[in-house]
Structure 1
Amino acid sequence: MTTSDSDFDSPGFVLAMLDWLERREESPAAVDESLELLADRRRRLLLEVMRTYGEELTLPDAAEEVAVRETGRKVTELSAERVANVYISLYHDHMPRLVEADLIEYDQERDLVIPLEMR
């Protein structure tokens, strides 16, 4: 279910997250690192795409799917430039962070993104 920004209860969400975190035993540094990784929408979308498909995807296909989810448009309505921009940002910024955090794997030789569940 998607809600508009005006319907979102930010204080309620933050308080619920704090309650959830209190019941966990993660270190403050681990929580900070996790929240930093999830702070960027494009990274969240890439993780969502990989979980949805549950299989290896080429980075161009993953970038295309992220662009679709970002814009809410059909793939046929996206410009090649838009998809290329998503690809470049995933390749240079977001994927290295997710690989370093051991959330995905990347096979550069085959240009494949591998979800956590397949490793």
Structure 2
Amino acid sequence: MTLKADSHPRSSESSSNTAGADEPSELTPDDIFHVLQTNRRRDAIRYLLEKDNPVKMRDVAEYVAAKENETTVANLTSTQRQRVYIPLYQSHLPKLDEQDVIEYDKPRGIVRPTDRLEVFRPYLEVSSEESHRTDRDRRESEADGAAVRSDTTYYSAATAASLSLLLAAQLGVLTLSGLVLGSLITLLFVLATAVTTRAGARLATRSSGPHRTDV
């Protein structure tokens, strides 16, 4: 009787351990980093996060290829599709399946998102925000550079015009008094300064605007 009573708890404990072993372990930070290490896996996860139902593996590949080539699915070439399709089919989607991020029916070419997919959403949202911020900063930097080049152009033009007036006066092409000549040259530089000051004010306004997030 004692042996029979003792054996029952052990059997129950064994069943409990077996059930626990069947549950997938949580993803570690290293697991998440490894999954998100490649652009193709990140883009595949972005696509699947927007889908509630199983999708065709071909649709995932076309979305990733379009992102990679900065075009639309309709404008993809067969070479662009093939270049992405094969690595996804052979490597990236099986990797996501191993991590229980998706259920990948390879023979049928069907991909089913799992609940674990949501783990990656915050990371991808931050990545997307950083990408938009980088693009915006790049555009602003280009605009600032154009403004600086414009300032240089104005002053160069003013200098060239002033030298031309001086040369023309010395050669007798223009008959101007020193006072008039000096006034014209001064006016040229005043106009150049006014234009560049306005451009600088616009740059300062944009830099201090509410869209700036740098602290």
What TM-score results when the alignment is normalised by the length of structure 2?
0.39
Distance 2:89 2:62 in 1: 13
Cα deviation 1:79-118 (Å, max 9, x = unaligned)? 111111211010111011100000011112321011114x
Of 31, 42, 56, the match for 1:44? 42
Alpha-carbon shift at residue 44 of structure 1 (Å): 0.6
Alignment CA distance shift 1:53-1:72 (3 Å): farther
Higher RCO structure (Cα 8 Å, ≥6 apart): 1
1:86 counterpart residue number: 84
CA distance in 2 between partners of 1:89 and 1:61 (Å)? 14
Map of 1:20 onto structure 2: none
Counterparts in 2 of 1:95-114, with a 5 A limit?
95-114=93-112
Aligned pairs, number: 90
In structure 1, C-alpha distance between the alignment counterparts of 2:107 and 2:37, rounded to whole Å: 29
Distance 1:91 1:51 in 2: 19
Gaps (5+ residues) in structure 2? 1-25, 116-215
The aligned counterpart of 2:66 is 68
TM, length-normalised to structure 1 = 0.68
Amino acid at match of 1:65: Y
Query: In structure 1, which of residues 27, 30, 33 is the aligned counterpart of residue 28 of structure 2?
Result: 30
Q: Secondary structure at the match of 1:109?
A: coil
Output one character per residue of 1:29-78: Cα deviation in whole Å (capped at 9) or x when no partner. 92112101111110011011111122211111110011112222111221
Residue equivalent to 1:116: 114
**Structure whose CA Rg is larger:** 2
Question: Percent identity over the alignment?
Answer: 33
The one of 49, 56, 59 aligned to 1:58: 56
